[in-house]
Every structure is written in C-alpha cells, then in structure tokens.
Amino acid sequence: MKNKHLTDSEIQQFAFDKAECKKEVVEHISSCSLCKQRVEAYLLLSTSIKSIPDPALGFDLSNRVMMQFDTTSKKKTLLDYFVYAFIILSITVVGFCIAYFSSVFINWFKGNSTVSMAFLICIALSILMILIIDIMKSHSRKMKMLKF
Ligand SMILES: [Zn+2]
C-alpha cells in the first residue's frame, strides 16, 4: 500500500477506466477518504460536462457560409474564363509561329552554328530556372497559407 496520496493521472484512471487500474491504486482509494473524494469530484465534473447542451448559434451559419461561397465562385469563374482564353490564344499564336517559320527553324538547326545553339540552350535553361523558382515560391506560399 502506498503511503503517499495518488497522482492526478492515477485518480483519473481509477475514475474513468477502473479495469486497467493497478491493484495498489484500488486498495489505496478504498482506504483513503481524500483520494475517494477526488475520484468523486472527477466523476461529478465528467457528468456535469456531459449534461451541458451543445452550443447553438442565434443565426443560420451554414446559410451564411454558402452565401460567401456563391459570391467568390462567380468572381473566380470570370477570371478562369479569362485565363483559359489567354492560354488558348497563346497556344494558337505559338502554333502559328512554328508552322509559319518551320523552314527557318529547320535551316537554322541544320547549319552547324554551335554558338547559336549554346545561346538557345542558355535561354531555355534560364527560362526553365525562373519558372521552377516561381513554382517553388508559390507552392511554399500556399503551404504557409494552409499552415503546414
Ligand atoms: Zn490518498
């Protein structure tokens, strides 16, 4: 039998999970009136917390949230249409340029101009680096917004 009184965690375990309690804890509580009072206080606290009704709001929260969704989604669809139109326009312009200047490009790559090839590769790599950095920055910003 313990001479000291039980800790809070032992009292809580006895109050809410008596089957998992150690034998010495059960014996102490059966003999000690102070620890028995603490167990009863925990049980009373638990039942009073369970008897508190669920909080109710004075207004219809779901309706207000849905109203917010409706206004933002309409604004976003306009922006999305603009972005899609811009993407389609740029793809058409690039496709037209490739089709129109294909003979020029083929002649340019046929001539063994290593300087111009190196220049082209440098430009392509720098554009790729800028795009990767931009994607990483926007990704980290979005993750910070989500608080990950
Ligand atoms: Zn005790």
pLDDT in tens, 127-137: 999 999 999 99
Domain membership of residue 42 (yes or no) is yes
Q: Which pLDDT belongs to residue 143?
A: 87
Domain membership of residue 93 (yes or no) is no
Taking 60 as the threshold, does the pLDDT of residue 73 lie above it? no
pLDDT tens digits, residue range 78-94?
777 888 899 999 999 99
Domain membership of residue 58 (yes or no) is no
- Split at pLDDT 50, 70, 90, the class of 1 is very low
Check residue 147 and report its DSSP letter.
T
Say how many domains are in the chain.
Answer: 2
Q: Which pLDDT belongs to residue 29?
A: 92
Give residue 12 CA to ligand 1 midpoint distance, Å. Answer: 13
Residue pair 46/15 in contact (Cβ under 8 Å)? The answer is yes
What three-state secondary structure class fits 59? coil
Q: List, in order, residues 6 or more apart from 29 with CB less than 8 Å away.
A: 6, 14, 35, 36, 39
Domain membership of residue 88 (yes or no) is no
- Split at pLDDT 50, 70, 90, the class of 112 is low
Give residue 6 CA to ligand 1 midpoint distance, Å. Answer: 6
Q: List, in order, residues 6 or more apart from 14 with CB less than 8 Å away.
A: 6, 21, 25, 26, 29, 39
Domain that holds residue 22: 8-51
Give residue 26 CA to ligand 1 midpoint distance, Å. Answer: 10
Domain membership of residue 141 (yes or no) is yes
- Split at pLDDT 50, 70, 90, the class of 64 is confident
pLDDT tens digits, residue range 10-44?
999 999 988 888 999 999 999 999 999 999 999 99
Give residue 34 CA to ligand 1 midpoint distance, Å. Answer: 5
Q: Which pLDDT belongs to residue 57?
A: 78
Domain membership of residue 100 (yes or no) is no
